[in-house]
Amino acid sequence: MPKEKKFFKKKKSLKVKALRTFKQSEKGMNDKMESNSKVIPIFFAVDDRYISFLAVTLTSLIENSSKDYQYVIKILCINIDERNKKKILKYEKENVKIEFVELNYYLQEIEEKLYTRDYFTQTTYFRLFIPELYPQYDKAIYIDSDTTVLGDISELYNIDLGDNLLGAVPDSSVQNNKEFQDYVERVVGMATYKNYFNAGMLVMNLDAMRRFDFQAKFLYLLETIKFAVAQDQDYLNRLCKGRVKFIDEVWNTMPIPNENIKEEDIKIIHYNHMFKPWHFDDVLYEDYFWKYAKKTEFYKEILNIKENYTEKEKFRDQEQFKSLVRLCKKETSCVGNDRNLAGMNGIEQSEERLKILKKIEEFEKNGDFDIDVEEDPPTIPLAPEDVDYLRKKSTSKIKSKIANHMGKKFLDDLLKENKLIIKEIKGLENLQNVDTGAILTCNHFNPFDSFAIEKAFMESGQDKVRKMYKVIREGNYTNFPGLYGFFFRNCDTLPLSSNTQTMIEFMKAVDTILQRKDFILIYPEQSMWWNYKKPKPLKNGAFRFAARNNVPVIPIFITMQDSEIIGEDGFFVQEYIINIGEPIYPDGNLSEKENSNIMKEKNAKIWRDTYEEFYKVPLEYTTESKAKK
């Protein structure tokens, strides 16, 4: 069974159980409070070790909160001692309802996949399940229990998140440590370390997260990537890239000197890492913790923890932090899941890339040329109302203009940074001389190869008089996060769809675009195989579009060779030679089907000839018979 289907089944199972447990746990809840529009849901995730510190956080939160709101506090946990539960429930007030939610069953489904280390426990992952656990809430706050709340929590809740998935604060530990910065950019995949947030305080747009299908994506990512440093926080940053509203750092202030923060402005203090006032002396802002600790019945217990915290334990904490820095450096030394594979020039080759290359060998041997070797994330069907193919709406036009401007800047950066190297463009005149609509075909071997075609399109001058649309996969349009997702949705793209009605609209748009003399880029191989040099067998779609609209196909085949630059995955960055063939025109005396087949055969021959001339070898497949089918 494909991974995506497994995860959808697992997700459905988890969701059913979650809703069942939720209904049971809500029994006896004050219905009047739940129905009030001024209810603020606040979540914690703890085990018995942190109950006393949770009491401090709750005391500070309740004391400083506006009395104009009602607060529903959910404590996600596993096997909390009943005596501790009773102590915490004493903090309930007329406008504060507290509930413990046991999630043992939830962990049973996936606990073997939840990696933990040092002081982390599996409860840290609980915040990732909140959107599905509580479908009646559109928004909520999550806070770690090693915090002291000095501001009015309703101010935090009322921050407008727009369509962002989360509101969060950049992680101060990362902003001040080069090893952390390198790790989050190279391993987690952040465009800049400045956008890596700390997950100890989150304003969660639960409605948007459900529409994003957040939990299914997390489970998929959990199966494919192991983040060993900040664990669930790394997953959150990876999944939510580009859809985070950054909040003033006073709402998640760490005990680290920061000249940008005035102490009197601080709203939440987060005693993370080693900065625990119940373990160490002279922790910055420790007075606030002790002020509220004294107001709890756990005060003597907390004092006892500090008095009995040995020098050996303090040394262990310091060593754990140093170990964390070393782990960051080790993980950063190579991208991929396995960092132990020796590579060229001291740079390790990505285990993931090696697996992909192995998979390509197997697919070619089996003749499975039209199947992607890299599994796409889970997707949802694209309904007709979800896409404005011709950008008729004013919002679509604005987004498209912004996206195309950003896309050109992104392309320039790729070229400057040698992440995309175009050595030569051959046959540019074949692109320049076309004065009608056209289908551009190209081999597909890298996520950036469309930018190479974009560069050729601009070099030809055609961008001054017409647009170039790109046919893309449904999942890339609906579910791809961050900047790339914004490009996929708005850079003149034409998403395919599993929805029949949407595909009817797609076909209409294709006809309109070609008749108004714009270009459409299509990958007729129907699959992307990383750095695969051979042309793969072609599908009919692109050629049917051209024949039906009486426009030419412009066959483009990109050949490649190693540059002198080794990429972050341990492989040489490829230099591209863009070979633009002569346009293939339909014959007015033939039927659409006849033209389609002939144009496809001519395209395949041009690609084959280009391949054989450049690489000086005949085009042969390990399974030639299947390739010809």
Q: Is residue 333, in this structure, part of any structural domain at all?
A: no
Q: Is residue 291, in this structure, part of any structural domain at all?
A: no
Per-residue model confidence (pLDDT) at position 533? 93
pLDDT band at 231 (very low <50, low <70, confident <90, very high): confident
Residue 296 has pLDDT above 90, yes or no: yes
Residue 506 has pLDDT above 90, yes or no: yes
Residue 564 vs residues 343, 561, 573, 575: alpha-carbon distances, Å: 15, 10, 8, 9
Q: Is residue 278, in this structure, part of any structural domain at all?
A: no
Looking at the structure, tell me whether residues 239 and 371 fall in a common domain: no
Of all residues in the chain, the percent with pLDDT exceeding 70 is: 86
Residue 26 has pLDDT above 50, yes or no: no
What is the CATH number for 504?
3.40.1130
Per-residue model confidence (pLDDT) at position 378? 62
Looking at the structure, tell me whether residues 222 and 364 fall in a common domain: no
Per-residue model confidence (pLDDT) at position 117? 36
Looking at the structure, tell me whether residues 187 and 92 fall in a common domain: yes
Per-residue model confidence (pLDDT) at position 37? 60
- Is-contact 58 52, C-beta < 8 A? no
Identify which has the larger pLDDT, 619 or 23: 619
Q: Is residue 593, in this structure, part of any structural domain at all?
A: yes
Per-residue model confidence (pLDDT) at position 36? 53
Show which of 250, 272, 294 is a domain's final residue: 272
- Provide mean pLDDT across the span 367-376: 83
- Provide mean pLDDT across the span 590-597: 95
Per-residue model confidence (pLDDT) at position 627? 43
Residue 398 has pLDDT above 70, yes or no: yes
Looking at the structure, tell me whether residues 265 and 362 fall in a common domain: no
| Angle, CA 367 vertex, CA 365 and CA 373 arms, to 5° | 85
- Provide mean pLDDT across the span 411-419: 86
Looking at the structure, tell me whether residues 70 and 181 fall in a common domain: yes
Looking at the structure, tell me whether residues 125 and 228 fall in a common domain: yes
Mean per-residue pLDDT of the chain: 84
Show which of 272, 306, 322 is a domain's final residue: 272
Q: Is residue 305, in this structure, part of any structural domain at all?
A: no
Helix (H) or strand (E) segment spanning residue 423:
strand 421-426
> 521 has which bridge partners?
440, 470
Using alpha carbons, select from 484, 491, 490 the residue that is nearest to residue 457. 491
Residues with Cβ within 8 Å of 299's Cβ and at least 6 positions away in sequence, in order, are: 293
Looking at the structure, tell me whether residues 376 and 264 fall in a common domain: no
- Is-contact 471 494, C-beta < 8 A? yes
Per-residue model confidence (pLDDT) at position 224? 67
Counting other chains too, the contacts that 603-608 makes at CB distance below 8 Å and 24 or more residues apart are 603/441, 603/524, 603/538, 603/543, 603/553, 603/555, 604/535, 604/537, 604/538, 606/555, 606/557, 606/581, 606/582, 607/443, 607/535, 607/555, 607/557, 608/535
Looking at the structure, tell me whether residues 79 and 184 fall in a common domain: yes
Per-residue model confidence (pLDDT) at position 175? 87
Q: What is the pLDDT of residues 53-74, one digit of tens each?
A: 999 999 999 999 999 999 999 9
Per-residue model confidence (pLDDT) at position 582? 96
- Provide mean pLDDT across the span 282-304: 96
Q: What is the pLDDT of residues 480-491, one digit of tens each?
A: 667 777 887 888
Our count of domains for the chain comes to: 2
Q: Is residue 318, in this structure, part of any structural domain at all?
A: no
Looking at the structure, tell me whether residues 265 and 361 fall in a common domain: no
What is the CATH number for 17?
3.90.550.10
Listing from the earlier edge strand, what are the strands of the sheet with 244-246? 96-102, 70-77, 39-46, 140-143, 197-204, 166-170, 244-246
- Is-contact 289 296, C-beta < 8 A? no
Residue 458 vs residues 323, 408, 428, 448, 570: alpha-carbon distances, Å: 49, 10, 10, 16, 31
Q: Is residue 323, in this structure, part of any structural domain at all?
A: no
Q: Which domain holds residue 611?
A: 357-627
Residue 408 has pLDDT above 60, yes or no: yes
Show which of 224, 254, 272 is a domain's final residue: 272
Rounded Cα gap, residues 133 and 20, in angstroms: 9
- Residue 172's SS3 state is helix
Looking at the structure, tell me whether residues 366 and 250 fall in a common domain: no
| Angle, CA 445 vertex, CA 217 and CA 390 arms, to 5° | 70
Per-residue model confidence (pLDDT) at position 21? 45
Residue 291 has pLDDT above 90, yes or no: yes
Per-residue model confidence (pLDDT) at position 216? 82
Identify which has the larger pLDDT, 510 or 349: 510
Instruction: Measure the N-to-C terminal CA separation of the chain; round to a whole number of Å.
Output: 26
Buried b (16+ CB within 10 A) or exposed e, 14-38: bbebbeebbeeebeeeeeebeeeee
pLDDT band at 500 (very low <50, low <70, confident <90, very high): very high
Global pTM value = 0.53
- Is-contact 44 74, C-beta < 8 A? yes
pLDDT band at 221 (very low <50, low <70, confident <90, very high): confident
Q: Is residue 328, in this structure, part of any structural domain at all?
A: no
Looking at the structure, tell me whether residues 241 and 364 fall in a common domain: no
pLDDT band at 7 (very low <50, low <70, confident <90, very high): very low
Using alpha carbons, select from 55, 84, 46, 44 the residue that is nearest to residue 302. 55
Q: What is the pLDDT of residues 184-211, one digit of tens each?
A: 888 888 888 999 999 999 999 999 999 9
Residue 376 has pLDDT above 70, yes or no: no
Per-residue model confidence (pLDDT) at position 271? 95
| Lowest-confidence pick of 450-464, 554-568, 612-626 | 612-626
Looking at the structure, tell me whether residues 394 and 498 fall in a common domain: yes
